[in-house]
Amino acid sequence: MKILSLNVRGFAVKGKIGWVRSICLRERPCIAVLQETKCKTISESWVQSIWGNSNCGFIQKEVVGKSGGLLIIWDKSAFEVDSTTGCDFFLAIKGRWKNSGKESTIVNVYGPHKDRNKVLMWDLLEKLINSISTAWLLCGDFNEVRECSDRLNSQFYQRRADRFNDFITRNNLIEIPICGRKFTRISDDGLKFSKLDRFLVTDNFISLWEDLSVIALDQNLSDHCPLILRDKVLDYGPKPFKVFNEWFECIDIGDIIQEAWNQPIRGKRKDCLFRDRLKNVKLALKSWSNSKFGGLDNEIKKLKEEAMEWELKAESQPLSDLDRALWLECRRIWIEKEKIKTGMLKQKARVKWTIDGEENSKFFHAAIRRKYNKSNFRGINIDGVWFEDPETVKGFIFQHFQKQFSKITGCRPRLADFTSAGQ
């Protein structure tokens, strides 16, 4: 999945159409949202020439005066549009992704300059979000920043930023971090920098994709950088091993650890022996956890259904002492496993609130996705160039710390290569 967002700053400039076409042909987005097109009514053939083929649909908001104009183009084989709506400040399409059948609403935003119009835009967007139950993506040029660091050499208005942040908070929106650049708009004189373009999504939109990230492309013929939202999984190797508190409630975990630690290991170097013992414990705990907790959701579902059957039976006829005991035991095991699941979710989400129950699982999953989206490593900026290739990134980080911790000294113990420990 790829979505392109770009403030083109008018298609009348020579070479602008070819530039946008080259981005579409190179990136192959599923949807392109363009702001400030400055176009009157456009033809289907004109849109197809920009998109690169005829298998596309589009919706346009014509320019008013000398500025503005919105355009959304979508690949018909990837996204099926059911309805469209819009106003002076935004244009929206509602439809479903053909690969999953999941519904989404994509909103192309071009924020106004006047303060009173900004307030009106936030109100209209909030009413639209509350009127439709779907996964939401708001993107484009919001013409507003969230904090002082989003501007350089230009005036920052705290009250406007507070309104923007309040809008994001009230509607449970999440901003997808931009990789490669801090600012998305640079003035023609190269003095003023701002982060005006962004992608805001809801939890259920994030859940549609495994890993979402935003990459900023070269500015080229506009004062805004093209932004690409994509679903791209980058493998940087093994992740830190997580231990759940619920594990230590199981009486057999000590035996699992002891048995794995005592497994025979070849070698003489003590650092290698210690590394391999830890690796054995990790693999044993992962296997034990998968067998013991891997089917937790299915177990909870079956126990819940069984408890409901007992309840329905109790409503229609008296239960014997044995049946009542079986019913209560089923409920006890169900609640116990539900607490285990909730505890593990709370720990993964790093939520300290004392809330339990199945009804909160959705909240914990959302918190986990928020934390993952915020902290997930996606690449590194090296001398102004963004790199995502895992080998290049890990090599640069290794060289950096090797340089920082290198010291000319006498005899020092040499540790083994621990790279393979997490494999």
Tell me, what CATH number does 172's domain have? Answer: 3.60.10.10
Q: Are residues 187 and 270 in the same domain?
A: no
Q: How far is CA 237 from CA 185, 231, 290, 398, 421, in A?
A: 34, 18, 20, 14, 11
In a domain? residue 363: yes
> CA-CA distance, 310 to 326, in Å (whole number)?
9
In a domain? residue 403: no
Positive/negative CA dihedral, 119, 120, 123, 129: negative
Q: Are residues 195 and 251 in the same domain?
A: no
Q: Are residues 222 and 261 in the same domain?
A: no
Q: Are residues 311 and 227 in the same domain?
A: no
CB 179, CB 379: distance < 8 Å: yes
Whole-number pLDDT of residue 359: 46
Residue 369: how many other CB atoms lie within 10 Å: 18
Q: Are residues 267 and 335 in the same domain?
A: yes
Q: Are residues 189 and 253 in the same domain?
A: no
Whole-number pLDDT of residue 356: 46
In a domain? residue 387: no
Starting at the edge strand that comes first in sequence, how are the strands of the sheet with 151-152 ordered?
A: 151-152, 193-194, 185-186
Q: Are residues 250 and 222 in the same domain?
A: no
Among residues 231, 260, 275, the one where a domain terminates is 231
SS3 (DSSP) at 308: helix
Whole-number pLDDT of residue 365: 54
Residue 272: how many other CB atoms lie within 10 Å: 17
In a domain? residue 252: yes
Number of domains within the chain:
2
Q: How far is CA 165 from CA 91, 109, 133, 168, in A?
A: 21, 16, 22, 5
Whole-number pLDDT of residue 180: 76
In a domain? residue 171: yes
Among residues 169, 202, 231, the one where a domain terminates is 231
**Owner of token pair 């089917």:** 295
Tell if the pTM clears 0.85, that is, is over it.
Answer: no
Q: Are residues 278 and 176 in the same domain?
A: no
> CA-CA distance, 219 to 186, in Å (whole number)?
8
Q: Are residues 149 and 286 in the same domain?
A: no
Domain encompassing residue 362: 245-375
In a domain? residue 135: yes
Give the residue from 171, 161, 113 showing the smallest Cα distance to 137. Answer: 171
Tell me the pairing of strands 31-35 and 56-61: unpaired
Token pair, residue 106, equals: 């994509």
In a domain? residue 136: yes
Among residues 202, 231, 260, the one where a domain terminates is 231
Give the residue from 354, 61, 104, 417 showing the smallest Cα distance to 231. Answer: 104
Element (H, E) at 39: none
Angle between helices 296-316 and 321-349 (to 10 degrees): 150
In a domain? residue 417: no
Give the residue from 31, 38, 41, 2 showing the smallest Cα distance to 17. Answer: 38
Q: Are residues 67 and 180 in the same domain?
A: yes
Q: Are residues 190 and 262 in the same domain?
A: no
Q: Are residues 147 and 206 in the same domain?
A: yes
- Partnered with residue 199 across adjacent β-strands are 139
Kindly tell me the burial class for residue 81, based on how many C-beta atoms sit within 10 Å of its own C-beta (0-12, 13-18, 19 or more): middle
> CA-CA distance, 33 to 108, in Å (whole number)?
6
Whole-number pLDDT of residue 347: 67
Series of mean pLDDT values for 10-residue runs along the chain (423 residues): 93 88 93 92 91 92 83 94 91 91 92 92 94 92 93 92 92 86 88 94 84 86 91 68 75 85 81 84 84 76 81 80 83 79 68 48 56 66 74 81 73 60 46
